[in-house]
A = this chain, B = another copy of it.
Amino acid sequence: MRRLPDRVWRLPRQEDDEAADEGIGRILALSDGVFAIAITLLILEIAVPATTTDDGLPKALLGLWPRYLAYVVGFVVIARFWVIHRLAFRLIARDDAVLVWLNLLLLLFVAFLPFPTTVLGEHNGAPAAAVLHAASVILASLASAAYWWYASGPGGLLRPGVGRAQIRALRARSLSGPVSFALTLPIALFAPYVAEILWIFVFPLTRMVFIWFFADEPEQPG
């Protein structure tokens, strides 16, 4: 029954494959747009106070360093969701309404990330800022894991010939994000800067998890 409405959009048979590409194409166009804007809006939150004099400018610029750090953290976090999104959608061949809305759920949280990033830059010593940021990233990570779990599992939307090792590796990578952020939350409460530095390095860490899972099983031939 969940699949029923999708049947309506079926195009005449001979155009089906082309139409599938087109459908995925617009999902990627909207997603790349949201990723690009969310990543670029971060800079709007960095500003020198309007009352700064020319003489006070060097000090004011240096005093903004917590915002520069938050900018880099925010950029790396959003970029990472994009990198995983690109890898996952290379393996997805078709879409349905559930995938479209799970992907929109991810975009809802990705487009939200500039807000906690800003709060982190403005209130760099406040535990609440660290908790808000970590919670937002965890929600986005869960949405990221959800669309991949659906496409590779019940949805059955992958290209033919995608090995089980690849599917498991990308699942592990999706989940390593929320797990890492949950683990660093206690650190963020007491030493927010340490947590921010750790967050920048979550990427290499999850990459290692990913390689480890992959190595766990012999590669499937195409």
List A residues at the B interface (Cβ < 8 Å): 4-5, 7-15, 19, 22-23, 26-30, 32-44, 46-48, 52, 54-55, 57-58, 61, 71-72, 75, 79, 82-83, 86-87, 89-91, 100, 104, 107-108, 111-112, 114-115, 118-119, 122-123, 125-126, 128-129, 132, 159-162, 165-166, 169, 207, 210-211, 214, 219, 222
> Contact at A165–B42, with CB atoms within 8 Å?
no
Given contacts A8-B166, A36-B37, A72-B108, 8 further A-B contacts (CB under 8 A): A8-B214, A9-B90, A11-B159, A33-B33, A37-B40, A43-B112, A48-B119, A75-B111
A-B CB contact pairs (8 Å), 23 listed: A5-B214, A8-B210, A8-B219, A9-B90, A26-B89, A28-B29, A29-B29, A30-B82, A33-B36, A34-B40, A37-B37, A37-B41, A38-B43, A39-B107, A41-B43, A42-B111, A44-B114, A54-B126, A57-B119, A57-B128, A61-B132, A83-B100, A83-B104
> Contact at B129–A57, with CB atoms within 8 Å?
yes
Helix, strand, loop or mixed for chain A's interface? helix
> Contact at B43–A36, with CB atoms within 8 Å?
no
Given contacts A26-B32, A90-B22, A222-B11, contact A125 B54 (CB under 8 A): yes
> Contact at A104–B79, with CB atoms within 8 Å?
yes
